[in-house]
């Protein structure tokens, strides 16, 4: 009997990496599936079209060849990858009775989703620094934010996001699951995989918590410090037109910052005991689908230069009057 028990204990450990995962999603609320499928089917093309439009006008219109739109192009590309890494799989699972994702597919989704999330945290901080230099150091703006510096900052942001994400996701994927292949989520995300793992996972949870505080809090503090200086500088602007333009360019970015960081803070920096069962699912939908969809509209609807560039692009290609 001791031998049999030993074999039974070891067997599940050899199946620590299942061939596929079952994503429960809102299995206990089947009435949500059709409305959610419809919303995703509408918002996903909107996100793609909106972000592609930002990239095109920023690249094709010479008036938008500035650091602000260079970083905005990076943000739009991030948002496209961000939402594409999760929405097609969600649509497939919601539209069929099969609620699964392969282990390889889960790993790929995890890498892309995490890379884009971390990189966006850092990129938003760089964009706030760009606004700080533009408003607080206008005479030195072209000197400080030259093309070389912009490319260097973007490279640091991307390399930092990729380095952290690859290391964190690789460690997470090595956690033993002991044959468990059911994830109570809509997608593969680091916290849910750590929660599903068997054995001692306290060190992984603590590491994730500490790193998330650093990744979220440090860029957010830099953003708030930048906008505190920007606010002080704006009050010193004597021209009402100049003050209005400065507020307009900064308010769009601030809205995006709050939409992105708000759900991240509520999900990753709370203790696990204070998070409800469905909160991670709704938060994932918000920062993975809603935010990438509305970001292009926030920037275009509040920015005369982008609206003018879009209008010129449409006129030149479709002969609109």
Q: What is the per-residue DSSP string for 238-296? A: --HHHHHHHHHHHHHHHHHHHHHHHHHHHHHSS-GGGS-SSHHHHHHHIIIIIHHHHHH
For residue 223, CA distances in Å to 101, 127, 182 come to 37, 9, 38
How many C-beta neighbours within 10 Å does residue 263 have? 21
> How confident is the model at residue 58, as a pLDDT?
84
DSSP state of 96: S
Q: What is the pLDDT along the chain (321 residues), one digit of tens a residue?
A: 444 443 333 334 344 577 888 888 777 777 888 888 899 999 999 999 889 988 988 888 777 788 988 999 999 999 999 899 889 988 888 887 788 888 899 899 999 988 998 899 899 999 999 989 988 888 889 899 999 999 999 999 999 999 988 988 888 888 887 777 888 888 888 888 888 887 777 777 777 777 777 888 888 889 989 888 888 888 777 777 767 777 776 777 888 888 888 777 766 665 555 455 667 788 878 878 888 888 888 877 666 667 666 677 666 665 544
Classify residue 30 by burial, with Cβ atoms within 10 Å: 0-12, 13-18, 19+.
exposed
> How confident is the model at residue 275, as a pLDDT?
55
Which 3 state secondary structure label does DSSP give 24? coil
How many C-beta neighbours within 10 Å does residue 76 have? 24
> How confident is the model at residue 136, as a pLDDT?
87
Distance from C-alpha of 11 to C-alpha of 27, rounded to nearest angstrom: 29
Do 124 and 256 meet the contact criterion of CB atoms below 8 Å apart?
yes
Quote the tokens at residue 141: 């703006």
Q: Which residue has the tokens 């969809």?
A: 293
Distance from C-alpha of 33 to C-alpha of 39, rounded to nearest angstrom: 10
For residue 173, CA distances in Å to 7, 120, 176, 269, 294 come to 24, 23, 8, 22, 32
pTM of the model: 0.84
Quote the tokens at residue 62: 């010479």
Give the total number of structural domains in the chain. Answer: 1
Distance from C-alpha of 244 to C-alpha of 237, rounded to nearest angstrom: 10
> How confident is the model at residue 294, as a pLDDT?
87
> How confident is the model at residue 215, as a pLDDT?
81
CATH code for the domain of 309: 1.20.1070.10
Could you tell me the residue range of the domain that residue 205 belongs to? Answer: 2-318
> How confident is the model at residue 14, as a pLDDT?
40
Nearest to 223 by CA among 156, 153, 136, 128: 128
């Amino acid at each position: 009997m001791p031998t049999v028990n030993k074999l039974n204990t070891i067997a599940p450990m050899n199946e620590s990496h299942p061939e596929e995962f079952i994503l429960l999603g809102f299995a206990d609320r089947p009435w949500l599936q059709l409305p959610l499928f419809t919303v995703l089917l509408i918002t996903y093309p909107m996100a793609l079209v909106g972000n592609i439009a930002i990239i095109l006008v920023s690249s094709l219109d010479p008036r938008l060849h500035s650091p602000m739109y260079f970083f905005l192009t990076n943000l739009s590309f991030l948002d496209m990858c961000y939402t594409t890494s999760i929405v097609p799989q969600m649509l497939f699972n919601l539209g069929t009775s099969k609620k699964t994702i392969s282990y390889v597919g889960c790993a790929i989704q995890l890498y892309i989703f995490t890379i884009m999330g971390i990189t966006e945290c850092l990129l938003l901080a760089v964009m706030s620094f760009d606004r700080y230099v533009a408003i607080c150091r206008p005479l030195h703006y072209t000197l400080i934010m030259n093309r070389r510096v912009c490319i260097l900052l973007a490279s640091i942001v991307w390399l930092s996001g990729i380095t952290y994400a690859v290391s964190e996701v690789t460690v997470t994927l090595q956690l033993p699951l002991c044959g468990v292949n059911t994830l109570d989520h809509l997608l593969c995300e680091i916290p849910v995989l750590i929660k599903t793992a068997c054995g001692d996972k306290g060190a992984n949870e603590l590491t994730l918590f500490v790193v998330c505080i650093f990744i979220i809090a440090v860029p957010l503090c830099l953003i708030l410090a930048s906008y505190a200086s920007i606010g002080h500088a704006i009050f010193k602007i004597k021209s009402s037109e100049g003050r209005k333009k400065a507020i307009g360019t900064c308010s769009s970015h601030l809205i995006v910052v709050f939409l992105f960081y708000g759900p991240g803070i509520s999900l990753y920096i709370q203790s696990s005991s204070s998070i409800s069962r469905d909160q991670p699912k709704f938060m994932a939908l918000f920062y993975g689908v809603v935010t990438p969809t509305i970001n292009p509209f926030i920037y275009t609807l509040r920015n005369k230069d982008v609206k003018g560039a879009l209008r010129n692009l449409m006129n030149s290609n479709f002969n609109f009057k």
